[in-house]
Amino acid sequence: MYSEWRSLHLMLQNEQGHTSVLHSYPESVGRDVANAVVRPLGQALNTPSAAGNESILKSDKEVKWTMEVICYGLTLPLDGETVKYCVDVYTDWIMALVSPKDSIPQPVIKEPNLYVQIILKHLQNLFAPRQDQGPNQIRLCMQVLRSVQKLARESSIMARETWEVLLLFLLQINDTLLAAPTVPGGIAESLADKLIGVLFEVWFLACTRCFPTPPYWKTAKEMVANWRHHPAVVEQWSKVICALTSRLVRFTYGPSFPPFKVPDEDASLIPAEMDNECVTQTWFRFLHMLSNPVDLSNPAIISSTPKFQEQFLNVSGMTQELNQYPCLKQLPQIFFRAMRGISCLVDAFLGVAVFKNKGCERLPIYGISRPRSDSAPPTPVNRLSMPQSTATNTTPPHSRRHRAVTVNKTTMKTSVATTKVQHQPSSTSPLSSPNQTTSEPRPLPAPTRPKVNSILNLFGSWLFDAALVHCKLHNGVNRDSSMTALATQAGVEFRRKGSQMSTDNMVSNPMFDANEFPENYEAGRAEACGTLCRIFCSKKTGEEILSAYLSRFYMVLLQGLQISDFVCHPVLASIILNSPPLFCCDLKGINVVVPYFISALETVLPDRELSKFKTYVNPTELRRSSIHILLSLLPLPHHFGSVKSEVLLEGKFSNDESTSCDKSVTFLSLKLRLVNVLIGALQTETDPNNTQMILGAMLNIVQDSAFLEATGNRAETGDGENDLKSHSRTNSGISTASGGSAEPTTPDSERPAQALLRDYALHTDTAAGLLMRSIHLVTQRLNSQWRQDMSISLAALELLSGLAKVKVEIDSADRKRAISSVCTYIVYQCSRPAPLHSRDLHSMIVAAFQCLCVWLTEHPNMLNEKDCLKEVLEIVELGISGSKSKNHEQQEVRYKGDKEPNPASMRVKDAAEATLTCIMQLLGAFPPPSGPASPCSLVNEATLIKCSHLPTLNKSSFRYFVLDNSVILAMLEQPLNTEQNNRCPSITVLIRGMSGRHAWAMQLCHLPRSARANQKLFLPESRPQPKNNVGIRYSVKHRPFPEEVDKIPFVKADLSIPDLHEIVNDELEVKHEKLKHAMSKQIAYETSLEQLKEEEWQRKSYPDPITECKPPPPVKDFQTARLLLSHFGFLSLEALKEPANSRLPPHLIALDSSIPGFFDDVGYLDLLPCRPFDTVFIFYMKAGQKTSQEILKNVESSSNIQPHFLEFLLSLGWPVSVRKHPGWSGHISTSWSINSCSDHEGQEQDELVLAEDTSGSIFNGEKKVLYYADALTEIAFVVPTPVESLSDSIESTVSDLDGDSNMDLLPGILKQPSLTLELFPNNTDNLSSSQRLSPTSRAKKLPPGRTIPPMGPETKVTVVWIEQYDDLENFPLSDLLSETSTGIETAANSNASIRTTIPEKEVPVIFIHPLRTGLFRVKVQGAAGKFNMVIPLVDGMVVSRRALGFLVRQTVINICRRKRLESDSYNPPHVRRKQKITDIINKYRNKQLEPEFYTSLFHEAGLKNCSP
């Protein structure tokens, strides 16, 4: 920079301005003269009474003569008052340039610049080192420095020449004291900080008022290079360059760039009047003021200065040992501090630098591998006693545009810094991830940050050299060829004294040469490595980085991550801490280092203690960063498959020393190692946040494996035994990294990953094996280590729920294990002591019941096993009643009637009831024939009336009863079709219970089903047909007596009665004839009648239908409601009586449907959903967009979006038509509709929609949405579109909604046009149109009068597809929240729902960024509170195309479940329905006497009941 300019160094050496004429006289003469001359001047200044008197020196001659004496007096010993008087006089006189006083001689006042220049040259004598007079000299030097500081600050008449002399004076005194090797306790050590501070401050003032010429800059740079062995030099340089950078960033990148704040005392060093151009010039020159900071890692360079060379020769001419100079022992700490300063500058340009106060120490946390800069070792603290904060800062990135980036000053002591304490954790972690502690997340780089190439052009050469300090490259040449024997000897000496990092892990490796790896410089090297990682991780989407930089960076990673020869723990920790997003940045060729990162993770994650890292870094943070890296590596084996990962370094991996296996390793072969690391991490992790991240990763890998196998793309990884040998060989080559062979055999002496490999190698190569291992691990730990921790328990239960949905066949015993473990978990939590019962504990129990429901609905055949069914029902009983009927302690069974209900809480009871409902009503019955959109019947009264073709049928034809105060029966006795008229008695019943609405058509049957199928009418049993043929008829004359009577002879007595003719006379003859004639006439008449009867009989059929006995005809008209209730036993006298000592109504009551408002309330009940419903709003954000309208317009055309976005949409759910969709549609006005349009209309609509451009806008909720439902939840996925594209269809959409059958159920409300959904209807006119109706809700205006039931907390999630990852800073979430209306926010009739504005930072948002590799990077924000981290998607995860839709959907389900768990006002659906049923009973109960009730059953429905 200054190669064409001359240095002033020689001029300063030859300068004689600090010599006096008295130096030519004997020493005693000069001392006596100085004492005599200076004393009256000094006493006059120090006497208060004489303070205002004029100076005794009047002429220019007198002043110059006196100054010659004072110049000599400044060289005298400090045992008297002379030197003090000299300093007092000069510090008083130089104020002539600030504010002239009477005590200053007039010649000095008249020509202050001339005299001040001479005074400054004279004052150099004061700073000459003196023996054993340190304290006095330090005090006087400080007095001079303060005066000079005041002079530079306050003088307004100082000439350029004076400025130049002042700068040369400061350079000269600094060089005098600081150039030589430091003497412990000497004046240089005490004054170094003040000297450098004054020099830099005055230099800045000079830059502002009189910018120094290049020779002065060159001289300063050369001299500062000679002082770098002082810690204060680098400390002050770091401070001022940070202050300059703060100013530079402010005007270079504008107000939107995150400000880089420094402490006020540091910022005050930069004059406020310094203009931007001056700041720029000064910043660049000061950046290089320290020369190459990497030189600080080489004692040979630092000790090659002239002052060092002078002292290398002692009196006898023998060379002195370099390691005897303590100043060189501080080089590792100074080197580290310089690297930390550069790291701070890099963070400032990236917009991520954050400094925090930490007690009195004010330790910075903006860097990475940074041992403490204090001299004393940290106080050992028991890590278990340290508070571990798990709270998370939830400030969304887009709210961080003006985020303050603050820096605080750090104190720096000059004694040797201790960077490691043997086996003792420090109270404050010296290594920390950048900008991140346990309470603050890692900030994102600023969107307007410079490019990676620009930052590397500034700092790259320093950082790359520092990152490879003392590294042995693969060609055997040491990176730092200038290392001398002196430096090596110093390094050995440092390690011998134990003042630096431990070498216990090097002793056991015979291949390690301690001379080649002086680990005392590891801290600075680690800082440089971490800074490089942060730079490359800040790459923008689509940004190109020079291949030279990439290759050097990968070389740094290979060196820092190698664990085969020597594990450099600080460097390894630093790289891991700063590389979480490294594999998410689309760096070209980054996969070349995947095997090395896996080896590093095998060193960190399965190690429970991390004893080798505890001293450098917070183990929790190290593990968290390692898990982040693992999350980004897990999809790679499946994604790249058989692609070979080659590292072009001697044709093999650096950690593979075997010559028998030179072939490249495929990505798929790395899967086993990654899975082993994941399992090992789960077994050793104790931090809740870290554990939840691992659980999310576990579901990711299991589901991805299942999808891969389902598509038939599972590639063979080769012979399992060979794989095992290969991995074992690879691991054995690095096994000495985590434990030395010199140590006794402990769990740490064998690599944990290797042990896990042997256990799981045969089980984790398939999706079924992964699923099995995951279930075993999670269930075992759920009921041991995790059951006390709410956050881990919730995540583990979510993982089990996700594993239940993985479509992989595993043994039923493993499924049973999962169900049993959840039951055991519930038993444990319910049995905890009463003082421990809290809302959080009950939330854990509720979540466990929900998990149990998922397993049962996904695997209903599990309840076919008797012991599993018994266990599940026992848990349900425990939840509802608070105890089991049979415990292990007591053998006798306690029946339900004998127990007093004492559930853990009502929430637990509700969850148990929901589980029982799930078991009884959903298992084996979902999805129903009507589809998964509704688990209820799509039939209500209006539908039955419409389907029956009876003109007399109306709503009053239904009879309404309530059973057990929980089920409403709507009975329709009229048959629905003519075919039923001749059939058995039938009835249609609408059952409205807690679980929903169900329609049953019942028929009374007396015959088997087969017999009924073959006959239409009822017929009696058949019998043989009778015959009319009775045989031959004979004509027989009937006699009154037998023939034998005629043969008996007569006696006299027989003859005593005379014959008729003997006694007849004429009169009797006449009568006799008359009687005879009558008899003959009668005989003829009877004969004719007999013949007529005979003829009639012949004409008749036989048998006679009139006389024959026949069964009575079947009844055709039935009172089926009465029959049904009676057959079920509900019409008993006890059922109608009020229960004693209870407020509950009887078991059976009738409802009066004629009361106004009855059907309104029934319709309201039907609108209450019977399962939770959630809404997801999906946005597409193109690169560079910032406004909401731009984002909404993207989905209007498929040319604006990526094809993968449409594929992602269709992986979330299936398209449904809003008009005929019976489930949740994303808005309350169009949801749960029943038969709102005919099938023909629906087909026409589908054809119209499909004819449009399928870009995603069709799923805006106007005509179609994406929908997903299972037995337990339903989700609507809506893609909002701009207002303009929807405005034309507003009216038509509203008119279409009039056909909703639910509208017909609300006639009372429909007659009230003034009813509004707004809580404050009078104020809606004052709102803007965008505030009154969001674009999404404009297409779904709520029809007048439709009531909104209380739905509890609104559960909606935003998913954003971003083409450019940095744009998430600019995502206008607050503007787009108006597009996410579901209608629930404005429930006017809900007591539980109040219009509330969800804080922006609490809105859950899932950002999805497609990578060039075909994978997807995920960022999750908006997690707040105790229920913060939801799995499976966690921040920083990378997922495949196959698993993206499933994981997003599962995350949405879990987010919404967590919200419902957290809400105090939420009631489960069955509870809300139960409450509404109770309300209907109380309002519409038909309070009849028992006789009246029975009488009403014998009357037709709808008729006025009469009293008996």
Q: Would you place residue 318 in the very low, low, confident or very high pLDDT band (cuts 50, 70, 90)?
A: very low
The pairs formed by 1068-1071 with CB atoms below 8 angstroms and a separation of 24 or more are none
pLDDT at 742: 33
Mean pLDDT is lowest, of 556-560, 729-733, 845-849, 989-993, for 729-733
Q: How many CB atoms lie within 10 A of CB 1038?
A: 4
1502 in the Ramachandran plot: left (φ > 0), alpha (ψ -120 to 50) or beta?
left
> Which residue did the predictor score with more confidence, 646 or 760?
646
What are the structure tokens assigned to 31, written together? 């001392």
3-state secondary structure of 1288: coil
Could you tell me which residues come within 8 angstroms of residue 349 by beta carbon, excluding any fewer than 6 positions away?
245, 249, 449, 450, 455
Backbone angles phi and psi of 993, in degrees to 5: -125, -165
Which pLDDT tens digit goes with each residue over 402-417? Answer: 444 444 444 333 333 3
Mean local confidence (pLDDT), 1247-1257: 56
pLDDT at 1354 over 60: yes
Cis-peptide into 1105, omega within 30 deg = no
The whole-chain average pLDDT of the chain stands at: 75
Residue 581 has pLDDT above 50, yes or no: yes
pLDDT the model gives residue 1220:
84
How many whole angstroms separate alpha carbon 1458 and alpha carbon 1278?
Answer: 21
Which of 403-407, 498-502, 978-982, 1039-1043 shows the lowest mean pLDDT across its residues?
498-502
Cβ neighbours around 101 below 10 Å, total: 16
β pairing state of 1214-1217 and 1264-1269: antiparallel
pLDDT for res 1012:
58
d(CA 273, CA 1363): 43
Taking the alpha carbons of 1208, 1210, 1213, 1218 in that order, is the dihedral positive or negative?
A: positive
* pLDDT beyond 50 at 1389: no
Question: Average of pLDDT values for 1452-1473?
Answer: 88
Q: Give me the pLDDT at residue 825, please.
A: 93
Give per-residue pLDDT as tens, 1414-1441. Answer: 999 999 987 655 667 888 998 889 999 9
User: Which of 584-588, 686-690, 1401-1405 is predicted with the least confidence, judged by mean pLDDT?
Assistant: 1401-1405
What number is the average pLDDT over the span 1355-1363?
A: 90
pLDDT at 1246 over 60: no
What is the pLDDT, as a whole number, of residue 766? 85
Residue 774 has pLDDT above 70, yes or no: yes
pLDDT at 777: 92
The token pair at 1071 is: 């009568």
Write the pLDDT tens digit of every residue in 123-153. Answer: 888 888 777 666 788 888 888 889 888 888 8
Highest mean pLDDT among 317-321, 582-586, 762-766, 1317-1321: 582-586
State which amino acid sits at residue 1008: P
Say which residues have a Cβ less than 8 Å from residue 143's Cβ, sequence separation at least 6.
Answer: 87, 91
Res. 5: pLDDT tops 70: yes
Is the pLDDT reported for residue 478 higher than 70? no
Is 119 in contact with 94 (CB distance < 8 Å)?
yes
pLDDT of 1179: 93
**Of 1506, 1484, 1496, 1500, which is closest to residue 973 (Cα–Cα)?**
1500
pLDDT of residue 517: 35
Select from 1110, 950, 1101 the least CA-distant residue to 1023: 1110
**What is 702-729 written as a DSSP string?**
HHHHHHHHHTT-PPP---HHHHHHHHHH
Backbone angles phi, psi at 803, to 5 degrees: -65, -30
Q: What is the DSSP annotation of 1444-1483?
A: HHHHHHHHHHHHHHHHHHH-SS---HHHHHHHHHHHHHHH
Residue 1097 burial (C-beta neighbours within 10 Å; 0-12, 13-18, 19+): exposed
Provide the pLDDT for residue 824. 93
Highest mean pLDDT among 107-111, 334-338, 927-931, 941-945: 334-338
Q: How confident is the model at residue 1014 (pLDDT cuts 50, 70, 90)?
A: low
What pLDDT is stored for residue 1129 in this prediction? 86
Q: Which pairing describes strands 1405-1410 and 1356-1362: parallel, antiparallel, or unpaired?
A: parallel
Q: What is the mean pLDDT of residues 15-42?
A: 72
Taking only the tens place, the pLDDT of each residue in 1228-1239 is 888 887 755 444
Judged against a pLDDT cut of 70, whether residue 618 lies above it is answered with yes
Q: What's residue 134's pLDDT?
A: 67
- pLDDT band at 1350; cut points 50, 70, 90: low
The Cα 372–Cα 381 span in angstroms is: 15
pLDDT the model gives residue 1008: 73
Average pLDDT over residues 62-91: 83
Tens digits of residue pLDDT in 1036-1055: 778 888 888 888 888 888 88
Query: DSSP states of 1225-1264 as a string?
Result: -SSGGGSS--S-S-HHHHHHHHHHHHHS--SSGGGSSSSE
Mean pLDDT of 638-644: 84
Q: Comparing 248-252, 663-667, 940-944, which segment has the lowest mean pLDDT?
A: 663-667
Task: Quote the pLDDT of residue 1451.
Answer: 93
List pLDDT tens digits, range 425-443.
Answer: 333 334 443 434 344 566 7
Q: Which amino acid is at 1186?
A: K
Strands 1173-1181 and 1274-1278: parallel
Residue 1278 pLDDT: 92
**Is this structure's pTM higher than 0.85?**
no
For residue 1222, which amino acid is it?
P
| Per-residue pLDDT, 153 | 86
Give the model's pLDDT for residue 1303: 35
Phi, psi of 564 (to 5 degrees): -85, -40
Residue 1388 has pLDDT above 50, yes or no: no
Is 1353 in contact with 1403 (CB distance < 8 Å)?
A: no
pLDDT reported for residue 1198: 81
**What is the average per-residue pLDDT within 829-845?**
89
Reading the block at residue 708, the tokens are: 């891969």
Q: Range with the lowest mean pLDDT among 329-333, 748-752, 1113-1117? A: 748-752
Q: What is the mean pLDDT of residues 289-301?
A: 86
- Tell me the pLDDT band of 304, cut-offs 50, 70 and 90: confident
On whether the CB atoms of residues 1218 and 1241 are closer than 8 A, the answer is no
Closest Cα partner for 557 from 575, 574, 573, 569?
A: 575
Is 466 within 8 Å of 294 (Cβ atoms)?
A: yes
